[in-house]
Structure formats: C-alpha cells, structure tokens
Amino acid sequence: MHESTARAPRIGVMGGTFDPIHHGHLVAASEVAHSFDLDEVVFVPTGRPWQKQDVSPSEHRYLMTVIATASNPDFTVSRVDVDREGPTYTIDTLRDLKRERPDAELFFITGADAVAQILSWRDHDELWDLAHFVAVSRPGHVLSTDGLPTENVSQLEVPALSISSTACRERVADGQPVWYLVPDGVVQYIAKHHLYRSRT
C-alpha cells in the first residue's frame, strides 16, 4: 500500500481587532511563518471584541486586512469572527477554524501584551487542545509566558516595531501621517472612508 508522507498543513492564526492593521501585525505573522515553517497564516479580524469599546465597523477592519495581506500569497483572511453573532472569544475562533480545517495543525500568534492576558480568556484551559501558541515580542511589553503550559506555548523575538493601532488612530485624528506605519492601501482606505477623523 502506498503510504502518504504528506504532513498536516501548518496554519498560523493571527487574530486581532486590526483597527487598523499595521506593519507590526504583518511582521509578526511573517516572522512566525518563517520560524515555524507554516504553510499559511490566516488573519482573523474580530467581530465585536469583548474587551474593547468604540471599535470601527467590522467590514472596514475586514477590508483593510484583505488589502494589507493581498500581496502575500501565504496570507489569507477569514470571516469566522466577523460573521459570528455576539462578542468574539478566541476559543470560538479556534473551534471554527478547526472545524473548517480538521487536518491542520494551528499556531495561534499573539503579542507580548495579549499573551499576558490569556488566563482571563474564556475557556482558556481548552485553548491548548486546539492550537499551539506563539507569543511574539512587542516594544513596551515584557515577553513572559509564566503560568502557561510550556509544551503548548513558544516565544519568538521579532523585529521591534513600535506601532499600535491606537497610535495610528490618534495620528489620523491629529492630522499626522500614517504612511509606512500601515500598508499604502490601508492609508488610502482610511482616507477614502474618512476613518479615525476624531478621537473616540
């Protein structure tokens, strides 16, 4: 009998509010893809994030994510969170992606700030069955995975880009440029749709 040697697809999952998506997100995803030999990274814009208020409509955030990732054939964008009713919890994201891709091995990518919160996430003790977690460094945050299961969580130093979506929104509201902090198409999308004109 012919035995297949094909390995399970290794898929990165980059969850975020992406309000707007910026180069910090893109570099983190690219670095994890390289270091963990991933076949694809799926960006998953949140629907309504459970910890954040005053978030832009999900269709804007979804479309900016599509624009930002379009030039990389290994990057895709999923609507699982945007299309689900109610607040977004990562456990639901991973369950839905696993249902869509039962053969895949999932790698959830998270910045140093977000990984420090994981133990407050809904059903966090079930997260480890669904994905391996990769915590990446982020300027201004100490990268620590203390208290998390070592076999399920890795750390990765990535080039330090001191960019946040909050700072991008504030710059636009103040009339400052966001060129080169976010991809060119995202700059144009923000201008065309008059996003972030006032501070929220």
- Contact residues: ligand ATP, CB under 6 A: 16-19, 24-25, 28, 110-111, 113-114, 136, 138, 161, 163-166
| Nearest CB to ligand ATP, comparing residues 60 and 138 | 138
User: At closest approach, how far in Å is the CB of 6 from ligand ATP?
Assistant: 30
Which residue, 136 or 195, has its beta carbon nearer to ligand ATP? 136
State which residue, 55 or 84, has the beta carbon closest to ligand ATP. 55
The span from the CA of 141 to the CA of 87, in Å, is 26
Question: Closest separation between CB of residue 129 and ligand ATP, Å?
Answer: 20
Q: For the chain, where are the alpha helices, taking DSSP H only? A: 23-35, 58-69, 80-83, 90-100, 112-115, 124-130, 165-173, 184-192
How far is it, in rounded angstroms, from Cα 76 to Cα 116? 26
Closest distance of CB 22 from ligand ATP, Å: 6
Residue (103 or 157) nearer to ligand ATP, CB = 157
CA atoms of 176 and 8, how far apart (whole Å): 45
For residues 45 and 71, the answer to whether their CB atoms sit within 8 Å is no
